[in-house]
A and B are shown apart, each in its own frame.
Chain A
Amino acid sequence: MLLAACGGTSGGESGQLGALNQKVTVQFWEAMAGGALKPTLEKITNDFNQSQSNVTVQLQVYPDYNTLNTKTLAALAAGNPPDLAQCYENWAARYNASKALADMTPYINAKDGLPSTDLSDFFPVFLNDGKLNNKQYMLPFNKSDYVLYYNDDLFKQAGLSGPPTTWDEFFSDAQKLTGNGHWGTDNSNSMELIFEEMLMDYGGSLLNSDQTKVAFNSDAGVKVLQMWRDAISNGSVHTISGYDDADFGAGKEAMSIGTIAGYSYKQQAVAGKFTMKTAVQPGGPSGSHALIQGTNVCIFSHSSQAVQQGAFQYVKYVTSKTQTEYWSEKTGYMPVRQSAYKDMQSSFYPANPILLAAPQELPTAVFDPALPTWNEAIGDINNEVENALGGKKAAKQALDDAASQVNQLLATG
């Protein structure tokens, strides 16, 4: 099937692209600005630049994903996009609405591309997620999901034998862990994301089947928000501003649902004061769902074919078994290849069990819809979810308000 796609290579000639044989410079825009991410990506990139003589990759780092997306759009507006960028699925959909992205298929099939055995080594969920209209526009780079971090010492003190496996247990444990200046958990993280996951755990869905209207203002949605609201009211969920690492690290907060990519911040805050552990997120009547976070990388069609091919060489390097393992071990992101995961199960995870929860959730992976306006929709939903949790609106009202805003977005753009 992959070989059949060969006919689509650009350049007019049928058949395979030859190996890159000229010097190119590739601008890579990324948002790996904090903690261990920055030095690790810099090292990988330096190693790549030195490993061969044709391609030089230059990094341009942005403070956060929102800035990266905004600046990429601005560069597209100016007709001067980067060659390579990190992208979420819905960003890519937006970029590609004006045909700004390059189909990676020709470069995958090129002489210096990825053999099919190599390609099928990627986790299939990630590879599928990288497709728009059935074409491979993205490959996975830094993939994460939310896991449950918990303070094992506080769990033992409260007489709890292990982490909760259902949301009901999660909230009842939170209550048991509350008191004497401690609290169960907080709602400082992106609650919109946890809401999405729990909505599915309780049998709801985000959108209707043809993705034209929202469906989250359902009984399941209301139930989920109500659970959080009740927990906030009884004091077991603490409302704070910003990140919860300081409170968790100080031993005040017993549980934190957070991205595996934030592991190094937690580790730093805890600094050995107690035993921190992780577990897969709890589930509901309809199972558990892990919304995959983190980005893919995409190549822009504005760049010359040689530059695109050079960018792909870098993508190939970064996602190779060795490098994805290195990246994963340094940052906590999941390895994107099955062979790397297998390798790490014997060499790395036994000594670092904390990071194992993230890939363990992969069988339950779900993705945000790849719609051009979804990034804006997330903001609207998050705002109303916060309104409900803050007690400013009834759950149903908040979800209905969010629904009408997002429906309008989906309809008019």
Chain B
Amino acid sequence: MGVREAFAVGAATSGYVRRLEGRALEGYLFMAPALILLLAFVVLPAIWVLVLSLYRWDLISSDATPIGLANYQRMANDSLWWKSLWQTCYFVAVTVTVGTLLALGLALLLNSRIRGRSLFRAAVFAPYVTPAVATIVIWEWIFNHDYGLLNSVLAVFHLPKVAWLTDSSAIMPSVILYSLWATVGFNVVIFLAGLANIPPDLEEAARVDGANSWQVFRRVTWPLLSPTTYFVLLISSIGSFKVFNVVYVLTEGDAGVTGGPDRAAMTIGVYLYKQAFEFFRAGYASAISVALFAIILAVTLLQMRIASRRVFYR
């Protein structure tokens, strides 16, 4: 659901809802199941994780020991944490910018009455709905150094083979490549919905005034699309910061090190998982969770600030 949209609607609620009678208690009862679940599994845990981050606890020995800010100190000195953070930022920066531009381009191509439009849309969107593990497993084979499809494509162009999964400088680009393939369809669909909302007469009017395609896009489509663009940017950066599946499935197992060669694809999500559920450092993992939350919140607020100045609302 659109975060920004929901805020707008939430704020406007009282304005256009015709209030219907009903006793207050009944209203609370109707909301209770959803609210209790949300409180128990989202809100309270989000607060509790702050408390947990001040403890040392392996979950197995029965007591948690309060250790103040020691988990945060540990983070400050943990080179692998900084590496994960930096690599995650790199991943986010590339997937969000390239992913958004690519999606916009595809949406513009698809935004016309062409034959087989829904077929094209399905092809682009299918990777997003299919189970990630299954598609990653296939990509792992596509990335294979000696027998992979990707290297054979390179060979057609007389390019040397790339060790997609075994070279520490290639593993992150591989992860990014997969992620773009898997998620760009979602953004395309959002952009298509945004484009459909632009009244055709505006673009038509601009064309009548003698504007060329680029000018129409630059002066009419792009400004009117800005709320959608903003939404795509926001949703894809939040999603990208949490990246887990592709790194885990591509690099986990007897034959590999989680995070890939030199852990060059280790991300915050995977590092958090390792600390929490393989090494059972509940306190330290909680501190990492808090940091992740803070980062995502900061990025969201920053984007909202920029949006309030740059996004064109009708």
Binding site for B on A (CB under 8 A): 63-66, 70, 73-74, 76-77, 97-98, 100, 188, 239-243, 247, 376, 379, 382-383, 386-387, 390, 392, 412
**Looking at A247, A392, A412, which has the most chain B CB atoms within 10 Å of its CB?**
A392
Expressed in whole angstroms, the Cα–Cα distance for A124 and B261 within the complex equals 38
Find out whether the CB atom of B254 lies under 8 angstroms from the CB atom of A390. no
Find out whether the CB atom of B60 lies under 8 angstroms from the CB atom of A76. yes
- With A66-B278, A70-B278 already in contact, 7 other A-B pairs whose C-beta atoms are closer than 8 Å: A73-B278, A240-B145, A241-B145, A241-B255, A390-B262, A392-B262, A412-B74
- Which of B37-45, B102-110, B162-170 is near enough to bind chain A? B162-170
Partner of B166 from A74, A97, A240 at Cβ < 8 Å? A240
Tell me which residues across on chain B come within 8 A of A382, comparing CB atoms. 257
Bin chain B's interface residue count.
Answer: 20 to 34
Partner of A74 from B61, B146, B261, B277 at Cβ < 8 Å? B277
Expressed in whole angstroms, the Cα–Cα distance for A239 and B261 within the complex equals 12
Find out whether the CB atom of A64 lies under 8 angstroms from the CB atom of B253. yes
Find out whether the CB atom of A77 lies under 8 angstroms from the CB atom of B146. no
- Determine the residue in chain B with the shortest Cβ distance to A94: B60
Tell me which residues across on chain B come within 8 A of A376, comparing CB atoms. 279
Find out whether the CB atom of A379 lies under 8 angstroms from the CB atom of B280. no
Find out whether the CB atom of A241 lies under 8 angstroms from the CB atom of B277. no
- A375 vs chain B, min Cβ distance (A): 9
- Determine the residue in chain A with the shortest Cβ distance to B261: A386
Query: A376-B279, A383-B262 in contact; A239/B163 too (CB < 8 A)?
Result: yes
**Interface 1/0s, chain B 237-280, versus A by CB < 8 A?**
00000000000000011111110011100000000000001111
Find out whether the CB atom of A241 lies under 8 angstroms from the CB atom of B262. no
Find out whether the CB atom of A98 lies under 8 angstroms from the CB atom of B61. yes
The answer to whether B144 has its CB under 8 Å from any CB of chain A is: yes
- A316 vs chain B, min Cβ distance (A): 29
- Determine the residue in chain B with the shortest Cβ distance to A76: B60
Expressed in whole angstroms, the Cα–Cα distance for A73 and B146 within the complex equals 37
- B296 vs chain A, min Cβ distance (A): 26
Find out whether the CB atom of A77 lies under 8 angstroms from the CB atom of B166. no
The answer to whether B59 has its CB under 8 Å from any CB of chain A is: yes
Partner of B144 from A98, A188, A241 at Cβ < 8 Å? A241
- A265 vs chain B, min Cβ distance (A): 12
- A143 vs chain B, min Cβ distance (A): 17
- B84 vs chain A, min Cβ distance (A): 13
Partner of A65 from B60, B166, B254, B262 at Cβ < 8 Å? B254
Partner of B168 from A65, A66, A70, A392 at Cβ < 8 Å? A392
Tell me which residues from 115 to 170 in chain B have a Cβ below 8 Å from any Cβ of chain A.
Answer: 144-146, 163, 165-168
A-B contact pairs, 5 of them (CB 8 A): A66-B252, A77-B280, A241-B166, A379-B258, A392-B262
Expressed in whole angstroms, the Cα–Cα distance for A247 and B147 within the complex equals 11
Tell me which residues across on chain A come within 8 A of B166, comparing CB atoms. 239-241
Find out whether the CB atom of B60 lies under 8 angstroms from the CB atom of A188. no
Expressed in whole angstroms, the Cα–Cα distance for A239 and B166 within the complex equals 8
Tell me which residues across on chain A come within 8 A of B262, comparing CB atoms. 383, 386-387, 390, 392
- Determine the residue in chain B with the shortest Cβ distance to A189: B255
Find out whether the CB atom of B255 lies under 8 angstroms from the CB atom of A188. yes
- A243 vs chain B, min Cβ distance (A): 6
- Determine the residue in chain A with the shortest Cβ distance to B282: A77
Find out whether the CB atom of B168 lies under 8 angstroms from the CB atom of A390. yes
Find out whether the CB atom of A386 lies under 8 angstroms from the CB atom of B257. yes
Query: A241-B163, A241-B165, A376-B279 in contact; A390/B255 too (CB < 8 A)?
Result: no
Tell me which residues across on chain A come within 8 A of B263, comparing CB atoms. 383
Find out whether the CB atom of A97 lies under 8 angstroms from the CB atom of B255. no
- B24 vs chain A, min Cβ distance (A): 41
- A65 vs chain B, min Cβ distance (A): 7
